Amino acid sequence: MDTVVITDGKYRASIAAARMLGRSGRRVAVVQTRGDQRLEPPVFASRYAAETRWLEGRASDPDYPDRLYELLAGCGRPVLFCTGAATLNAVAKQRERFSQVCDFLIAPPETLDQLNDKQAVHRRCVELGIPVPRQFEGAPDRFPVIIKPRCGEKFGLKAKDRYAVANTPAEYEAHRARMARYDPHPIVQERVEGAGAGASLLLDREGRLIAALCHRRIREYPASGGPSTCCESFYDEGMIGQAYRLLSSFGFVGMAMVEFKGERVLEVNPRVWGSFPMTERADSPFAVRYARAARGERLDYQPRDYQTGVRMRFTLNDGAAMLDYLRHGRPGPFLQGAADWFRAKEALAAKDDPGPWRRYLRNTLLRR
């Protein structure tokens, strides 16, 4: 039986990955570092997690790669599925070494660095003729604008702290001064109105597209801009094509999500993304195709190989988002959220695997 080791079990994406891989007949082992997670991760309660392991320390520790390597060496050459950025980057820096004990689809570290650099992505989009928001080199001459460091992940910033919106020159100066603590030359762009969307792609070892899924944001928290709390699957051939052009121009392999607003590219997440559970909710073969391609199997891209029109929500986060929209005088999203109680699928719940959702609720109560 083929074994897949999923790292960083604290992330919600690990639940979807474990289920999809487990349902495909693969043996799933999930790993979590004790220093990064006090409570037992919800995925540990999944019926599809055949084995769960704790690793001492943190994923940011200098000796973490050694401990992970030792664990993988004892698993009979598994497929490695990284859900956390720290693990992904650690393995990328030692790709040749880790390739001796496991199979994976992970880009070289220099490629990941380029894609995490918003300025580099913006510049490449301009070269390729892919639409992007207008960027200001000096003080902006119109508002509102978005201010963000070139790489928020590099500074360990949470998603909601990786950018700020300025509506006036005074706000711009204040936010720029705050950002200067992380990046003396942050990016300043026009704020593009409208709902955001994402094109999630999987590229094999040769850089060939072998899976894709599009989702649009329905609600986010905070309401002023943040991670999505409710989203819906759809299909857009043009969006997938632009995302593939961008990723392949960097020589990327693995999983990534390209963020859009309208036709404009905002940034790239060259790793497993927050709304990854949509791949399970929409019956996408994303995780299974990753495992097959990591083993060297040559697969052909199958457009529309997932359900469209599937609405998914992170219920607890979405409840907070609904109240935030109401506080900001936007009753529309609040009422839409109320209707979604009967329409949207909870991202972490599954009839055949109720354990992770129950554990997630319990952990949430314990944290409070």
The reported pLDDT for the residue numbered 152 is: 65
In this predicted structure, the answer to whether residue 212 has a pLDDT above a threshold of 60 is yes
Window from 117-131, 218-232, 252-266 with minimum mean pLDDT: 218-232
Binned at pLDDT 50, 70 and 90, residue 185 comes out as: confident
In this predicted structure, the answer to whether residue 358 has a pLDDT above a threshold of 80 is yes
The reported pLDDT for the residue numbered 130 is: 98
Residues ≥6 apart with Cβ < 8 Å to 10: 32, 36, 37, 41, 84
The reported pLDDT for the residue numbered 157 is: 63
The reported pLDDT for the residue numbered 106 is: 98
Binned at pLDDT 50, 70 and 90, residue 155 comes out as: low
Specify the 3-state DSSP secondary structure of 21. helix
In this predicted structure, the answer to whether residue 220 has a pLDDT above a threshold of 80 is yes
CA distance 260 to 266: 5
Tokens matching residue 83? 């859900």
Q: Is the fold of 3-104 the same as that of 196-367?
A: no
Supply φ then ψ for residue 292, to 5 degrees.
-65, -45
The reported pLDDT for the residue numbered 167 is: 92
CA distance 211 to 300: 9
The reported pLDDT for the residue numbered 317 is: 96
Average pLDDT score, the chain:
94
Which CATH superfamily is 196-367 part of? ATP-grasp fold, B domain (3.30.470.20)
Window from 26-35, 133-142, 145-154, 206-215 with minimum mean pLDDT: 145-154
CB 199 within 8 A of CB 264: no
Q: Which of 231, 228, 83 minimizes the C-alpha distance to 160?
A: 228
Other C-beta atoms closer than 10 Å to the C-beta of 69 total 18
* pLDDT, tens digit, 9 for 90 and up, residues 312-346: 999 999 999 999 999 999 999 999 999 998 899 99
366, containing H or E segment = helix 355-367
93, containing H or E segment = helix 85-93
Binned at pLDDT 50, 70 and 90, residue 137 comes out as: confident
CB 338 within 8 A of CB 322: yes
CATH topology for 3-104?
Rossmann fold (3.40.50)
CA distance 312 to 309: 10
The reported pLDDT for the residue numbered 154 is: 58
User: For 134-190, CATH number?
Assistant: 3.30.1490
Give the pLDDT mean for 292-318.
97
The reported pLDDT for the residue numbered 179 is: 84
**Which segments within the chain are labelled E, that is strand?**
3-7, 27-33, 51-55, 79-82, 145-148, 164-166, 187-190, 196-203, 209-220, 228-234, 254-261, 264-269, 311-313, 345-346
CB 364 within 8 A of CB 316: yes
Binned at pLDDT 50, 70 and 90, residue 163 comes out as: confident
**Strand arrangement, sheet containing 187-190:** 164-166, 145-148, 187-190
Give pTM, 2 decimals: 0.95
The reported pLDDT for the residue numbered 362 is: 96
* pLDDT, tens digit, 9 for 90 and up, residues 235-246: 999 999 999 999
CA distance 88 to 254: 11
CA distance 317 to 229: 6
pLDDT above 90: percentage of residues in the chain: 85
| Domain range annotation of the chain | 3-104, 134-190, 196-367
Give the pLDDT mean for 53-71.
97
